[in-house]
Amino acid sequence: MSYTQPAALLFDLDGTLVDTAPDLAQATNALRTHHGLAPLPYATIRPQVSNGGSALVELALGLAPTHADHDEARRFLLEVYGRDVAQHSRVFPGLEPLLTAWDSAHRPWGIVTNKPRAYAAPLVEALNLTHGVLLAADDLPLKKPDPAPLLEAARRLGIAPGDCWYIGDHLRDMQAARAAGMQAIAVRYGYIGDEEAPSTWPVDRWFETPESLTQALWPGENDMAVHSG
């Protein structure tokens, strides 16, 4: 099965483009320490990172979003995280050559994330990511899985949605991509928890590693077709 190479790339942020789990895990364990609890193993925290601050509070303290103390705990966690969002976070190794090649060829790409702008923008800036568009959780009234942010990103890039790949590591990413009429591209190296069923996601294509995604999208300057392996 062959795939036409996209005119533009749109990435989810956490778990797809950038490995933010180390800094978010550090903030999660700071919350536990604040409450006199022992740190959780990194492997326990990592799969929950894409689910946001509320999920990390529930993991850390067992406080559901409806609990009276949940909001205060979430504020503490995000305050700790916000002090340095890029202390340990890095672009996933293997994606740098793709971004470099895409930028050098002046091909459009961007980021659509459910991360609030207060954390997404400083992170992207610290990592010197030269994106064409960044849409964060609070930029529009709707966020993923609604397709509105993806459609707005494509509009700002001047690219038809059908000519875009949206790349993510969560069910909501694939739902948003499908609803937007984009190719829904999922990555297994992201933050996928054991409780999830990715085989049921509406995915057009999976990539196991950052390197395989890079190779598919940039196999050579004269090869403008992407073929499944």
149 and 191 belong to one structural domain: yes
Which sequence positions are flagged as catalytic?
12, 14
pLDDT of residue 3: 60
Q: What is the pLDDT of residue 193?
A: 87
Q: What is the CATH number of the domain that holds 14?
A: 3.40.50.1000
Cβ neighbours around 199 below 10 Å, total: 7
Q: What is the pLDDT along the chain (229 residues), one digit of tens a residue?
A: 346 789 999 999 999 999 999 999 999 999 999 999 999 999 999 999 988 899 999 999 999 999 999 999 999 999 999 999 999 999 999 999 999 999 999 999 999 999 999 999 999 999 999 889 999 999 999 999 999 999 999 999 999 999 999 999 999 999 999 999 999 999 999 999 888 999 999 999 999 999 999 999 998 633 433 333 3
The DSSP secondary-structure symbol of 7 reads: S
Distance separating alpha carbons of residues 180 and 19, to the nearest angstrom? 25
Give ∠ CA 48-51-57 in degrees, rounded to 5. 70
Domain count, the chain: 2
- What stretches of the chain show up as alpha helix (H) in DSSP? 21-34, 42-45, 53-61, 70-82, 96-104, 117-126, 148-157, 171-180, 210-217
Among 224, 225, 217, residue whose Cα is nearest residue 103: 217
Q: Is 62 left (phi over 0), alpha (psi -120 to 50) or beta?
A: left
The residues near 30 (Cβ < 8 Å, ≥ 6 apart) are 77, 80
Query: What are the beta bridge partners of residue 3?
Result: 226
> Is the domain of 104 the same as that of 71?
no
What domain range is 44 assigned to?
A: 21-82
Asked if 26 and 107 sit in the same domain, the reply is no
146 and 98, same structural domain? yes
What is the spatial distance between Cα 164 and Cα 154, in angstroms, rounded to a whole number? 7
Instruction: Check whether residue 110 and residue 212 sit in a common domain.
Output: yes
pTM of the model: 0.91
